[in-house]
């Protein structure tokens, strides 16, 4: 049996950082995100009778050829395979051959682990012929070790409930993709891979002296952003999302050892977004665990922003995303 899966990355308006249970990838806080229509992973999954064959090839962003996955990459897949079997309550094994390709640079703050592991969660469920609800699939995706993968399962705009245990920590859609045509314009400043993974970063989040303060503030931040979203109040929404991004990075920069994901291109880029806004072109930034910048804007302003940022020599690529459906067998 061979089948294909397509699954999007997502950008969190309110980010999850820090885990109360590393084994089960249980976050301290709820998070809220949007699936990204043009940043996705496509998996071709072949189920094999020979259980000794477990292989994966990856085609990176802009590469023309597939390359064998590294041992570290393969180990993560195999670890997830073991968790998936347990979750799906299957006792038999399968062999598999995976071909994975990405429409965007990986490990650069554009949630490549979310798109990949959500796709793989759906692939394992499909390969073992299990029909899961979206809630169950999002839990399974979370058990990959990439928590944000759970948010790439449901459609459109997605809320991940932190929950108190594995059963209650799941993601669900709170609005369909066409509910609001806001745009996430990813300004790719560099396709370079980051040196510290989010998984390693989460473990040390609570070493920041500001971590407790962030957790205290988060219920209000989540509420403000959700209300602005529901009212389609772009100014209130963008303002709060931008502040939340700085709040999030202030934890990263003050945990021990600190994580400085920004590069010398990130600051000019965010300053330009702020300047453009002061000149009447309304956009807001958010930055994930990487140096690249996500510019949130309204559909009517795409061309103006695109023309402006194409002319900046610190921008390597621009990827325009709308909200979209979650992981699907295609």
Which residues make up the interface to ligand PMV (CB under 6 A)? 12, 15-16, 31, 111, 113-114, 146-148, 198-199, 288-289
How many C-beta neighbours within 10 Å does residue 254 have? Answer: 14
> Which CB atom, from 173 or from 276, has the smaller least distance to ligand PMV?
173
Q: Which is nearer to ligand PMV, 111 or 327 (CB)?
A: 111
The minimum distance between CB 109 and ligand PMV, in angstroms, equals: 8
Q: Report the residue number, 47 or 69, with the smaller CB distance to ligand PMV.
A: 69
User: Which residues are CB-neighbours of 136 under 8 A, at least 6 positions away?
Assistant: 170
Helix (H) or strand (E) holding 300: none
Nearer to ligand PMV, 288 or 301 (CB): 288
Q: Provide DSSP, 138-153.
A: HHHHHTTS-GGGGGGS
Tell me how far apart the alpha carbons of residues 4 and 46 are, in angstroms, rounded to a whole number.
9
Alpha-carbon distances of 280 from 31, 126, 234, 295, 301, rounded to whole Å: 30, 49, 14, 15, 11
DSSP class per residue in 264-295: TTHHHHHHHHHHHHHTT--EEEE--SSS-EEE
CB of 290 to ligand PMV, least distance (A): 9
Beta carbon of residue 107, minimum distance to ligand PMV (angstroms, whole number): 10
- The full length of the chain comes to 330
Nearer to ligand PMV, 83 or 276 (CB): 83
* In the complex, least distance from residue 213 CB atom to ligand PMV, rounded to whole angstroms: 18
Pick the closer one to ligand PMV by CB: 155 or 288.
Answer: 288
Give the residue with the Cβ less far from ligand PMV, 22 or 232.
22
Q: How far apart are CA 192 and CA 59, in angstroms?
A: 16
Q: What is the DSSP letter of 315?
A: -
H-helix or E-strand spanning residue 71: helix 71-88
State in angstroms the smallest separation of the CB of 153 from ligand PMV: 13
CB of 313 to ligand PMV, least distance (A): 27
- Closest residue to ligand PMV, judged by C-beta, is 148
Write phi, then psi, for 44 (nearest 5 degrees): -110, 120
Minimum Å distance from CB 115 to ligand PMV?
Answer: 10
């Amino acid at each position: 049996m061979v089948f294909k899966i397509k699954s999007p990355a997502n950008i969190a308006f309110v980010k999850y950082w820090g885990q109360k249970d590393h084994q089960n990838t249980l976050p301290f806080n709820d998070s809220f995100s949007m699936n990204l229509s043009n940043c996705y992973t496509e998996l071709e999954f072949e189920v094999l009778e020979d259980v000794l064959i477990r292989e994966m090839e990856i085609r990176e962003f802009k590469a023309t050829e597939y390359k064998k996955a590294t041992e570290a990459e393969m180990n993560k897949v195999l670890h997830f395979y073991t968790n998936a079997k347990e979750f799906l309550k299957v006792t038999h094994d399968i062999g598999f051959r995976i071909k994975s390709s990405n429409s965007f640079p990986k490990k650069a703050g554009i949630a490549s682990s979310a798109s990949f592991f959500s796709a793989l969660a759906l692939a394992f469920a499909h390969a073992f012929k299990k029909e899961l609800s979206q809630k169950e699939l999002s839990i399974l995706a979370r058990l990959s070790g990439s928590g944000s993968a759970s948010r790439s399962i449901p459609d459109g705009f997605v809320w991940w409930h932190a929950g108190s245990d594995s059963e209650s920590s799941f993601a669900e859609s709170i609005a369909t993709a066409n509910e609001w045509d806001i745009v996430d314009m990813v300004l790719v400043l560099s396709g370079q891979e980051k040196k510290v993974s989010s998984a390693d970063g989460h473990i040390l989040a609570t070493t920041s002296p500001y971590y407790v303060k962030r957790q205290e503030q988060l219920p209000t931040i989540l509420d403000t952003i959700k209300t602005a979203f529901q009212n389609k109040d772009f100014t209130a929404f963008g303002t709060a999302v931008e502040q939340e991004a700085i709040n999030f990075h202030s934890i990263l920069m003050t945990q021990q050892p600190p994580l400085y994901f920004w590069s010398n291109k990130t600051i000019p880029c965010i300053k330009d977004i702020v300047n453009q806004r002061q000149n009447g072109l309304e956009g807001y930034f958010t930055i994930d665990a990487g140096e690249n910048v996500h510019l949130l804007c309204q559909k009517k302003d795409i061309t103006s922003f695109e023309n402006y940022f194409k002319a900046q020599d610190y921008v390597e690529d621009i990827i325009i995303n709308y909200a979209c459906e979650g992981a699907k067998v295609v």
